[in-house]
Amino acid sequence: GENVEQHPSTLSVQEGDSAVIKCTYSDSASNYFPWYKQELGKRPQLIIDIRSNVGEKKDQRIAVTLNKTAKHFSLHITETQPEDSAVYFCAASPMDSSYKLIFGSGTRLLVRP
Amino acid sequence: DAMVIQNPRYQVTQFGKPVTLSCSQTLNHNVMYWYQQKSSQAPKLLFHYYDKDFNNEADTPDNFQSRRPNTSFCFLDIRSPGLGDAAMYLCATSRGLVNTEAFFGQGTRLTVV
């Protein structure tokens, strides 16, 4: 089955700097890759997603890139702000069950003011 | 505006004493999921329902059961909780179409004493 690895497990950046979180997946047939943000004590919420027919997607300060050949995808946050501090999870949707999500282990992002 | 509601937020149960966690949704989504999330780990899918069809993950222990009496409600039953079952349990829903967003509840943190 699908396996998703996520790095780094923790990331500390200065406010205004960029943050990059990387994930790799094992099932080459996976075709949907969402990113969820989980603030302390709150539910995970979708922040951006990408499908396998595109290589990059951007939404204001957040962008996601996908390299299907290498089976990895990354989350890029520019001009980070303290409110970006949270745990970020990547996920992949296996082709054989397109409404299941297999999650990475999470990255705790701390943005220092 | 809560759309996926989990009760209770915190649950303490005794070793071996059956416990039930509940989840309700106002989204009328076809799919409901139960994830187990242990500290600093990825959410792990236990099982999901597509309408009334139950789908168990291969590595989900027999100790975990689920019921979905109607579209809105789904229950997680742990028949004989062990210390290793202490975790955050997340309920989520999705429309069940290809590659659609999962909406999470805030989770129930289970402690086994």
CA of B15: how far to CAs of A6, B12, B59, B80, B83, in Å? 33, 10, 22, 7, 7
B102 reaches A (C-beta below 8 A)? yes
Q: In this complex, do A46 and B102 lie within 8 Å of one another by their Cβ atoms? A: yes
Q: What is the pLDDT of residues A3-55, one digit of tens each?
A: 899 999 999 999 999 999 999 999 998 889 999 999 987 889 999 999 888 89
Give DSSP secondary structure letters for B19-74.
Answer: EEEEEEESS--SEEEEEEE-TTS--EEEEEEETTEEEE-TT--TTEEEE-SSSSEE
Q: Is A111 exposed, middle or buried (0-12, 13-18, 19+ CB in 10 A)?
A: buried
Cβ–Cβ < 8 Å for A102, A1: yes
B40 reaches A (C-beta below 8 A)? yes
B45 reaches A (C-beta below 8 A)? yes
What SS3 string covers A19-59?
A: EEEEEEECCCCCCEEEEEEECCCCCCEEEEEEECCCCEEEE
Q: In this complex, do B90 and A43 lie within 8 Å of one another by their Cβ atoms? A: yes
Average pLDDT value for residue range A70-85: 97
A8 reaches B (C-beta below 8 A)? no
Split at pLDDT 50, 70, 90, the class of B41 is confident
Q: What is the pLDDT of residues B77-87, one digit of tens each?
A: 999 999 999 99
Q: What is the pLDDT of residues B56-79, one digit of tens each?
A: 988 899 999 999 999 999 999 999
